Amino acid sequence: MKALTGDDPAALGHYTLLARLGAGGMGVVYLGRSPAGRLVAIKVVRDEYAADPAYRSRFAREARSAQRVSGYFSAAVIEAEPGARTPWLAQEYVPGPSLQATVREQGPLPPRTLVRLALGLAEAVRSIHAAGLVHRDLKPGNVLLAEDGPRVIDFGLARSVLPDGHTRTGSLMGTPGYMSPEQARGEEVGFASDVFSLGGVLAYAATGRRPFGEGAPAAVLHRIATAEPDLAGIAEPFRGLIAACLAKDPAARPTAEALISRVTELGGQDPDWLPEGVRRGVDAARREQENLLRQGRPLRERRRRWPLAAGAAAAALVLVAGGVAAARLLPAGGGGSAGAGAGEAPPSAGSPAGDPAEAPEGLPRTELTGDDLGEPDLLLSDPGGRVLSEAAFKPDGSRLSVGGPAVLQTWLVGEERLAADTVLPDGQGTQAFGYSPDPQGPIEAYAAVGLLDSGRIELISEKEDGWYLQAAPDGTTVADVEFSAQGDRLLGLDAGCRLTVWAMDPGEKTADAWISKANPTVWPQASWHPDGDYIIGTCGGRPAILAPENGEVVETVPTRDTPRDAVFSPDGSTIAVVGDNHVVELWNADTLERYAALSGAEGPIMKAAYNGDGSVLATLGVSEPDEDQASEELTADLGTVFDETVRLWSPADQEQIGVLDADNGSVPLGLAFGPDDAVAVTYENGDVAVWNLG
């Protein structure tokens, strides 16, 4: 889900638009709200296609076709205006990921999920056929996974059948890889064609592979028409069911009704059908939906007294072959403007002195109390006992990645086991790690790793390995990385306070600037505004708010003490600032006035993080340096008091909730929230503690 842009309409028909759900070459899909409060997905045709009579006619046909289908496992079309100046179609909103995204990110589905998926899709196909239609484009991307079962969407290629039970021929329509043999040959297709496509979808869900392989469309279509499907790894009786669907002869395939009978014999009634990682993603989408309804405003509505800096100095991302194993380096390249020093800005009107400022309206509240904070629900340990200083959850909560000076690990949270453990030479490890909520760009990188020794950010992708971004040309350590909430941009911040921003698609650098030109007095940190409009960063001076388009500093937060971290709340209404004054400062992001200073910490604070809805703020205190570090200067700056503690706070109630204590005798060094209010803390002794606060 992404924020609306300035080019998006505020409403369509009587629906208020709240956010973007997706966009493609043909149109945009919005999340809308009816006057009665019902959420819908609104598909809108782009202007260039709306002007094409043929495409407009096809869109009108899609609306009519979809409205004829009334089955439970298809997303119902509620209303459509194909004749409007901007044609649109409102459909039931399904808060869940696509089957394609789920399998791509988490692998093949377990047997109980496959059975429920097969039953739901068979029922959806039966409903489509009962309406006299052939879908013609069943594929994993057109199947959404909801809490109560799958949903089939997108009737753009659906056609009515003729009296003989077939659609007209004359053109090749569909998605290579999931077409039936008769569809691939451009022949007449009937209900059996959808059953073949359904078999291909189930094979993909069971194996993670297309049953007729990858490659050029012509080669795939040839294999569909002549070769047997690859069903290796699928156990009986599910294998036989899929094979029957994929029969070359349409007459040999089961009908949707017969398929339902066969699947019902296998079970398929388990209401807890989704894998744990998918369920968490669905729950997160539902909470986001509830938050939007509660707030009653679009994601883009933010009242600020500070302007967005204009202009953008974008440099193309250059791909250069070279390095060990032909690693492809994306160098810093072209010039960017250096932002003004954050500490140089004059004090803003919002000063900590004087009467308390007004808190933003509608701050979310938590029912969490100190009595709820017991032992961690999960305690993982690095087999080598290496220092772990970073943590990041995958957006669906299925994986937790942790890192340190000599290690990068990924844990499978539900299975409590390591999925990957990379041992690195000490000093060449990871200082920062971030997951993308929506992988985009040429390689669809789903994570980024900031490296200690080279000034580079490694991009992790399922498509290709060996891609890097050069964040610091001089090899300075990468101090922080973070994807925007929309997944379309990535920031990198080096230890010298140099900020670089990349647009993931098509792959352009948009900013190359400095948060502060002065030498940093604390470890630099940066994070995104939830709308992706701004970045906030700290380097020891006042927290700077920057424009990601060019890195220009547009405003500073006028805190008086040395800040170490500053983060926006999930709704963008508050800026939380922590640092050497032992308090948590809460600033109204619209007015840049401080409305609360929460006390209770016993020393300097180095990190802050919000949970998903902003009702809980976690902070991590500064730890005492090792004896072999240059600690005299640090101790002189901070005093002799350290607060090696993770504390939880309620911003709405402006009070401390309690302390997270793993009781493992080690110092906490890293902190991250995940979905369902899971919070992970990494430790000096290699432990990773996870508390489920939800």
- Tokens 């993308």 belong to 436
Report the C-alpha gap between 587 and 304 in whole angstroms.
Answer: 13
Place of tokens 């100190």: 370
* CA angle (609 as vertex; 603, 610 as ends), nearest 5: 130
Using the 8-state DSSP alphabet, how is residue 5 labeled? P
Nearest 5 degrees, angle CA 494-CA 518-CA 620? 55
Tokens (6 digits) for 639? 């005093």
Q: Which residues contact 116 (CB under 8 A, 6 or more apart)?
A: 149, 150, 268, 269, 270, 273
d(CA 201, CA 205): 6
E strand segments, 376-463: 378-381, 390-393, 399-404, 407-412, 417-423, 430-435, 447-451, 456-460
Annotated active-site residue 137? The verdict is yes
DSSP 324-360: GGGPEEE---S--PPPPPGGGSPPPS--SSSSPPPPP
Of 439, 534, 543, nearest to 491 by C-alpha is 534
Residue 43 assigned to a binding site = yes
Q: In 439-459, which positions are buried (b, 16+ CB within 10 angstroms) versus exposed (e)?
A: bbbebbbbbbbbbbbbbbbbb
Cβ–Cβ under 8 Å, residues 29 and 43: yes
Q: Compute the distance between CA of residue 30 and CA of residue 101 in angstroms, rounded to an integer.
A: 19
User: Rounded to whole angstroms, how far apart are CA atoms 577 and 21?
Assistant: 31
**Total Cβ atoms within 10 A of residue 572:** 22
> Distance (Å, rounded) from C-alpha 564 to C-alpha 557?
13
Contacts for 505 with CB less than 8 Å, ≥ 6 apart: 440, 441, 442, 488
Q: What are phi and psi of 517, to 5 degrees?
A: -80, -20
Distance CA 565, CA 607 (A): 5
Q: Give the active site residue among 137, 283, 382, 565.
A: 137
- 504 vs 492: CA distance, rounded Å: 13
Q: Largest Cα–Cα distance in the chain?
A: 88
Cβ atoms of 455 and 501 closer than 8 Å: no
Per DSSP bridges, beta strands 133-134 and 655-660 are unpaired
Q: 166-190 burial, b if ≥16 CB within 10 A, otherwise e?
A: bbeeeeeebbbbbbbbbbbeeebbb
Pairing label, strands 498-503, 133-134: unpaired
Euclidean distance between CA atoms 570 and 464, whole angstroms: 32
How many helices (H) and strands (E) the chain has is answered by 11, 41
Strands 328-330 and 467-470: parallel
Strands of 378-381's sheet in order across: 378-381, 687-692, 678-683, 668-673
Annotated binding site for ATP: 43
Annotated binding-site residue numbers: 43
Q: Looking at the annotation, which residues are catalytic? A: 137
